[in-house]
Amino acid sequence: MRAIGIILAGGNNDRLGQLTSSRATSAMPIASCYRTIDFPLSNMTNSGVTKVAVITQFNSRSLHDHLTSSKWWDFGRKQGGLFVFTPFLSNDNSFWFRGTADSIYQNISFLKRSKEPYVIIASGDCVYKMDYNKLLDHHIAKEADITIACKTLTGEDVRQYGVMDLNSEGRVIDFEEKPVEPTSSTISLGIYVISRTLLIKMLEAISAEGRYDFVKDIIIRYRKKIKIHAWEYNGYWKSINSTKSYFDTNMDFLKADVRYKFIKEYPYIATKPKDQSPVKYNHTAVTVDSLVGSGSILNGYVEHSVLFRRVVTGENSRITNCILLEGVFIGKNCVIENAIFDKEVILPDNKTIIGEPGKPIMITKNDAL
């Protein structure tokens, strides 16, 4: 692979509420055993990208802990490897990252010390499985300056995404970030290919002008001056950009075709394993259409739910259409429907918590239960 990778994992997303008050969106648990960052990281290594930088900023402690060992994604190597960059103070810089472009610019030495001709830039908060070689091949064939992975969303609200207008040759002729009145249903997936030397040149140019955002100050500003092409991706893709999208993405893994794509179909999505015992189903436990993480002990009824590691459910408890994160304890005779329980929440006996279908209620340790 003639490219290095950059994963932007530093964004501050308050649309997930308390779920991201102490963790980065890229560290959000997915499908009982993964983190969101696992998907772009696995895509990089599965595509043959052997040198990857992960740029973090907000609430990054759990994300750093997850990335402590790079061997799980096959980045434990002498040449290349995994690099984790955070904001730092120096004699000539006292800023946090002021935008996506600035986060790369403040680590521009990573680009200058590399020799690969191309850079693949991806967001750390999306769930998908992509061969970046196909994106790079398209970029080279079109002789583009920048290529953007895109997807056409039919029947969905695209106002929360970057929306693109393309000509008949697939060239981007217009790009609007989170438009009020979209003129297209083709969205950017936040995945880009660009020449390494061109990226260095453009970062230095916009930084000198006090500009810091990759989309606004490079893609949108230069869309008519440089050749920007789009490459359409037709596979599964979800952005973890709201509580609802987080809930829906986890629930998608209860579908056999989605689960097979990520878990059974080679190349696989890798993660940092946790050495814990298998799930223990006691004689009163009934589990239907659910994913359950290791170390859990079940005594009650669980249906159409995703349970992460070390979850305990009491006798006669009934859990339906829920997400329970690591270490949640549910007491006896409880009824829970349409809810997300954050890490280590303890629900006493005889409690009932019911959210609306399609609008799950969120429970954290700070809530009075």
Q: Which pLDDT tens digit goes with each residue over 116-130?
A: 999 999 999 999 999
The sign of the torsion formed by the CA atoms of 362, 367, 368, 369 equals positive
Q: What is the pLDDT of residue 21?
A: 82
- Taking the C-alpha atoms of residue 25 and residue 14, their distance in angstroms, rounded to an integer, is 9
pLDDT over 70 at 173, yes or no: yes
Q: What is the pLDDT of residue 155?
A: 83
Domains, in order of start, for the chain: 3-264 (3.90.550.10), 280-363 (2.160.10.10)
Per-residue pLDDT tens over the stretch 78-97: 778 999 999 876 556 556 88
How does residue 11 score in pLDDT terms, banded at 50, 70 and 90?
confident
Per-residue pLDDT tens over the stretch 350-365: 999 999 998 999 999 8
How many distinct helices (H) and strands (E) make up the chain?
A: 9, 26
254-to-48, 177, 242, 300, 356 alpha-carbon distances in Å: 29, 32, 19, 19, 20
Tokens of 212: 């810091």
Query: C-alpha dihedral over 44, 48, 49, 50, to 10 degrees?
Result: 120
How does residue 219 score in pLDDT terms, banded at 50, 70 and 90?
very high
Phi, psi of 273 (to 5 degrees): -75, 155
Mean pLDDT computed over every residue of the chain: 93
Query: With b meaning 16 or more CB within 10 Å and e meaning fewer, what string describes 261-298?
Result: bbeeeeeebbbbeeeeeebeeeeebebeebbbbbbbbb
Q: Are 104 and 122 in contact (CB under 8 A)?
A: no
